[in-house]
Chain A
Amino acid sequence: MPEAATEPSVPPPPTAAAPAIVVRDLVKTYAGHPAVRGVSFEVAHGEIIGLLGPNGAGKSTTLRILTGYLPATSGHVTVCGIDVAAQPAEVKNHLGFMPENNPLPEDMRVREYLHFRGRLKGLTRRRLGPRLDEVTHLCDLGRVRDRIIGKLSKGYRQRVGIADAILAEPPLIIMDEPTIGLDPHQILTVRDLIASLRGRMTVLISSHILPEIEMTCDRVVIVNQGRVVAAGAPADLRREFFGPGHYEIELAGPFDELPALLAAVHPRLASLSAATPGADGFATLRLGAPHDAPDLREALVNALARAPRFRLRSLTRTRHTLEEVFLAATQAKAA
């Protein structure tokens, strides 16, 4: 097998063509109360995916079912080509999981804990030694490796959890709210850490810290009340929910001539707000174009430059934050 020899360290996924995760019509009810009602999505190898949703949307339940910890009520889940319901034990060899709230034993030292976890995950002593050093370095745990976990700050505890998840170099890493309760510095560190896994491992994280997800993830899956309400790259979702056409311009000049000028650029481009010029004569306006319109920024600049009585100071296309997408997606389907 010449192909296998080229990748000695990383165990090749069982079926290279199969996506890392396939979830189809997943349903989970807790004592008659539905938590997940028909969630479906797919994750390709090497992708970083964010699972978004308000509290109680079924994120944690979905992740737990993916790890084989909880059985699903119905539906089909495969991880790295392995059926989770049929072979829950085998699935556990292929993933690293950090549960919600990152539970850790209080009375162990960081190094002891990671050693124990590494042995449980089937690493041999010989491989574990260098791997521990590597992970400690990667998660910046060098200073606390001999401290008791119960006495660590939240940021360090979180990093211990992440170190544990990536310890055995699984092809898939699932983290439930990895950045919850961290300060902005620590969030940055964790984000860089997750980004550094890109390409090597498939990462599925859940969060409701939205800028977080947007910066790290290739794609997001938004769930609400146990259903997927939107899925795709953040940019695509923005287009899907808001379209391309919102511009913000700052200009001075005869505002009553503006509608005609805008109509010349695009027949349905219109100002959404009334012009209230400031002391210097400049006013900030929001312009709206229909969803199917192309990017009009260049045309706008050119048109305004040709009209010498207008003085343009700035022009930007309004970027909707993922937050707005999230709110639109979760409200649209709830209504």
Chain B
Amino acid sequence: MRPFRILLAHELRMLLVSPATYIAATLFLLVMGFIFTGVLETFAAAPQQTSPAAVFFQLLWLPVFFMVPLLTMKSLAEERRLGTLETLLTTPVTTAQVVLAKFFAAYALYLALWAATGGFFYILHRFAGGAQALDYGPLVGGYLFIAVSGTLFVSIGILASALTRNQAVAGTFAFVLLLMLVVGTRFAGTLEILKLDHLATLRAAVDYVQVFTHLEDFTRGVIDTRQVLYYLSGTVLALILGILGVEAKLLHS
């Protein structure tokens, strides 16, 4: 446990002192601010059924697709390319500790970036006047969903980074996996073939993994433990595969 704490502290420290973190954060907030303004403008133009927070979180996939690969692609691929993975693994630390430290550091940054978007809602609340403009339920639900789903998204990025020494490949791989997870499942849900009776179980499974359905439930305040379990078990699986990936590369180098 002690090496893990040291590794995590080291990773977080390196994130804090790295200019890349701040550039990424600025650009992320710029894009999110742009989206947020767009959402507010639609609301200003005509009355809407849903809360602005719910619509804002509907666009979650956009930052997930570009931020998660960018945040995670460097983690293990860079260590392997520079050879520092070797120096790291010849000290009394295990592969699991290294991968977990990378994961938690990236996840912490992911959460911090999203937490910063809370500022938008604060500004809205401060200047729109009156609490009725802002419904807290969807807001809390949305952020909770981001925290829960983020574990899976970030762990997929770490898995992609564990499998290659090339950052670009890691980034692309993470992007493709996330695309399949978020959009691919949605597309699969619309397939005609799944409407056949004897494929009902398969359709149930596809319905179960719809990220957008989960998001809707969370913003409506429905927190289903099955959905939480889906993300957490997916995270554990991705991290185990990541650890095995790093070790397999050593065994078959």
Q: Does A243 contact B (CB under 8 A)?
A: no
What number of residue pairs across chains A and B have CB atoms under 8 A from each other? 58
- Residue from A30, A103, A119 within 8 A of B84 (CB atoms): A103
Distance in angstroms from B83 CB to nearest chain A CB is 3
Distance in angstroms from A209 CB to nearest chain B CB is 21
- Residue from A103, A107, A117, A121 within 8 A of B14 (CB atoms): A107
A95 to B89, CA, bound (A): 12
CB-defined contacts of A255 to chain B, threshold 8 Å: none
Question: A103 contacts B250, CB within 8 Å?
Answer: no
Which of B2-10, B30-38, B180-188 binds A? B2-10
- Residue from A101, A106, A116, A164 within 8 A of B10 (CB atoms): A116
Q: Does A97 contact B (CB under 8 A)?
A: yes
- Residue from A67, A103, A108 within 8 A of B83 (CB atoms): A103
**CB-nearest residue of chain B to A93:** B92
Q: Does A293 contact B (CB under 8 A)?
A: no
Q: Does B93 contact A (CB under 8 A)?
A: yes
CB-defined contacts of B135 to chain A, threshold 8 Å: none
Distance in angstroms from A96 CB to nearest chain B CB is 9
A71 to B249, CA, bound (A): 12
Question: B92 contacts A92, CB within 8 Å?
Answer: yes
- Residue from B3, B86, B92 within 8 A of A99 (CB atoms): B86
Question: A120 contacts B6, CB within 8 Å?
Answer: yes
Q: Does A8 contact B (CB under 8 A)?
A: no
Chain B: residues with CB nearer than 8 A to chain A?
Answer: 2-3, 6-7, 10, 14, 17-18, 82-84, 86-94, 250-253
Instruction: From B14, B89, B91, name the one whose CB has the most chain A CB atoms within 10 angstroms.
Output: B91
Could you list some 12 contacts between A and B, CB below 8 A? A31-B252, A70-B250, A71-B250, A92-B90, A95-B90, A99-B86, A103-B87, A104-B82, A104-B84, A104-B87, A105-B84, A120-B3
A92 to B91, CA, bound (A): 5
A67 to B250, CA, bound (A): 13
Question: A97 contacts B82, CB within 8 Å?
Answer: no
**CB-nearest residue of chain A to B250:** A70
Q: Does A199 contact B (CB under 8 A)?
A: no
- A121-B92 contact given A103-B83, A103-B84, A116-B10, CB 8 Å threshold: yes
CB-defined contacts of A105 to chain B, threshold 8 Å: 82, 84
A97 to B2, CA, bound (A): 21
| Contact residues, A108-153 vs B (CB, 8 A) | 108, 116-117, 119-122
Smallest CB-CB A-B distances: 8 pairs: A103-B83, A97-B90, A92-B92, A120-B91, A67-B90, A119-B6, A103-B84, A99-B86
A69 to B250, CA, bound (A): 8
- A69-B90 contact given A30-B253, A108-B14, A116-B6, CB 8 Å threshold: yes
CB-defined contacts of B6 to chain A, threshold 8 Å: 116, 119-120
A202 to B238, CA, bound (A): 41
Question: B87 contacts A164, CB within 8 Å?
Answer: yes
A101 to B3, CA, bound (A): 25
CB-defined contacts of A107 to chain B, threshold 8 Å: 14, 17-18
Question: B94 contacts A97, CB within 8 Å?
Answer: no
Question: A99 contacts B87, CB within 8 Å?
Answer: yes
CB-defined contacts of A97 to chain B, threshold 8 Å: 87, 90
A108 to B14, CA, bound (A): 8
Q: Does A245 contact B (CB under 8 A)?
A: no
Question: A101 contacts B83, CB within 8 Å?
Answer: yes
CB-defined contacts of B86 to chain A, threshold 8 Å: 64, 69, 99, 103
CB-defined contacts of B250 to chain A, threshold 8 Å: 69-71
CB-defined contacts of A70 to chain B, threshold 8 Å: 250, 253
CB-defined contacts of B93 to chain A, threshold 8 Å: 120
A101 to B86, CA, bound (A): 11
Question: B7 contacts A120, CB within 8 Å?
Answer: yes
**CB-nearest residue of chain A to B10:** A116
A164 to B94, CA, bound (A): 19
Q: Does A188 contact B (CB under 8 A)?
A: no
**CB-nearest residue of chain A to B2:** A122
CB-defined contacts of A108 to chain B, threshold 8 Å: 14
